Amino acid sequence: MSVLLNACLAVDLILMIKFPFKNKDHRVPVYLAVSFVISASITISSAFSASYKPKYNYFMPSEANMIICLVILTANYLISYASIIYAFRKLCKPGISKESQRLVLLRHVLSIIGFTIT
């Protein structure tokens, strides 16, 4: 769920730069719902499709669930990097002060990096 919420954060940063004066309060419940539903689906799917390995004495998730998780992680990284590139391109246009550009880009990049590390 954390990875999905990080992807939602990156999407929200893109939308915040694209529509700076639009209220984001209506987007937060959508982010939470999407993250919860996808996480719950993966958890339930893993519980029902896990195969017991008696030799090793543990349950192993199915290959499909591992692929889905890998796709979600990859999508998270792609969305995060795309949001950094989008922010850089939008903020480096004329008319925005260099100090504002630097502060917003620094905050944007550090938030993406911080949530990715977390």
What is the percent of the chain with per-residue pLDDT over 90, rounded to a whole number?
A: 4
- Cα 65–chain centre separation: 18
- pLDDT score of 53 more than 80: no
The continuous run of DSSP H or E covering 60 comes out as strand 58-60
Find, among 72, 67, 54, 57, the residue nearest to 8 by Cα: 72
The token duo for 63 is 């290959």
Per-residue pLDDT band for 33 (boundaries 50, 70, 90) equals very high
Cβ contact 31:14 at 8 Å: no
Contacts of 80 (CB under 8 A, 6+ apart): 6, 7, 10, 112, 116
Cβ contact 39:4 at 8 Å: yes
- pLDDT score of 46 more than 80: no
- pLDDT score of 37 more than 70: yes
- Residue 100 one-letter amino acid: S
pLDDT of 63 reads 75
pLDDT of 52 reads 59
Cβ contact 74:42 at 8 Å: no
**What's the pLDDT tens digit per position in 66-106?**
888 889 889 988 998 898 888 888 878 777 788 888 888 88
pLDDT of 57 reads 59
